[in-house]
């Protein structure tokens, strides 16, 4: 993954660790997509969204506002996304269930003809809603050109 060797997520803690991972994976996912590594790019963007949700809800006030239902496990990404929509953090226009299906497909096959541009725009919108974007990419550690 794009953060390998560039950060120690545990040392950064439950807020800054996933925040940094989300930013690194957004950058890495975009690079992979641009290189034609579509399936790898989709999977990397998925992890960016998961990390962004983790980072957002690591803030106590944000987590309290989620109104998690009894028995609802927000450690499961689809339920986490739903809780964020229900709380009004996310506008709900992004089809997370379809994104999850696409990611499963990308894990199992190459998708060389997939037009990723609308997906990337939607992921970036979600990351803005989760307060990950904008950020100064120049503050990220440099990428290792040897990474996939």
What b/e sequence results for 129-140 when a residue is b if at least 16 CB atoms lie within 10 Å of its CB, and e otherwise? bbebbebeeeeb
Q: Is 57 exposed, middle or buried (0-12, 13-18, 19+ CB in 10 A)?
A: buried
pLDDT value at residue 2: 42
3-state secondary structure of 16: helix
pLDDT of residue 61: 93
**Length of the chain, in residues:** 148
Q: pLDDT exceeding 70 applies to what percent of the chain?
A: 86
Shortest CA distance to 30 belongs to which of 139, 121, 99?
121
Beta carbons of 21 and 2 less than 8 angstroms apart: no
- Mean pLDDT is lowest, of 7-11, 31-35, 84-88, 130-134, for 7-11
> Is the pLDDT confidence value at 144 over 90?
no
Domains of the chain and CATH, by start: 9-134 (1.20.120)
Average pLDDT, the chain: 89
Spatial CA neighbour of 132 closest among 12, 19, 27, 7 = 19
pLDDT at 147 over 80: no
């Amino acid at each position: 993954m794009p953060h390998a060797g560039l950060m120690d997520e545990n040392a950064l803690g439950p807020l800054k660790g996933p925040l940094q991972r989300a930013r690194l994976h957004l950058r890495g996912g975009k690079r992979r997509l641009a290189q034609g590594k579509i399936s790898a790019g989709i999977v990397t963007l998925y992890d960016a969204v998961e990390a962004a949700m983790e980072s957002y809800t690591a803030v106590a006030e944000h987590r309290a506002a989620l109104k998690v239902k009894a028995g609802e496990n927000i450690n499961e990404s689809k339920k986490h996304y739903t809780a964020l929509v229900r709380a009004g953090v996310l506008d709900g226009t992004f089809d997370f269930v379809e994104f999850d299906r696409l990611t499963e497909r990308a894990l199992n096959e190459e998708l060389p003809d997939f037009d990723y541009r609308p997906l990337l725009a939607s992921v970036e919108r979600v990351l803005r809603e989760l307060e990950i974007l904008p950020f100064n990419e120049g503050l990220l550690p440099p990428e290792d050109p040897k990474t996939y």
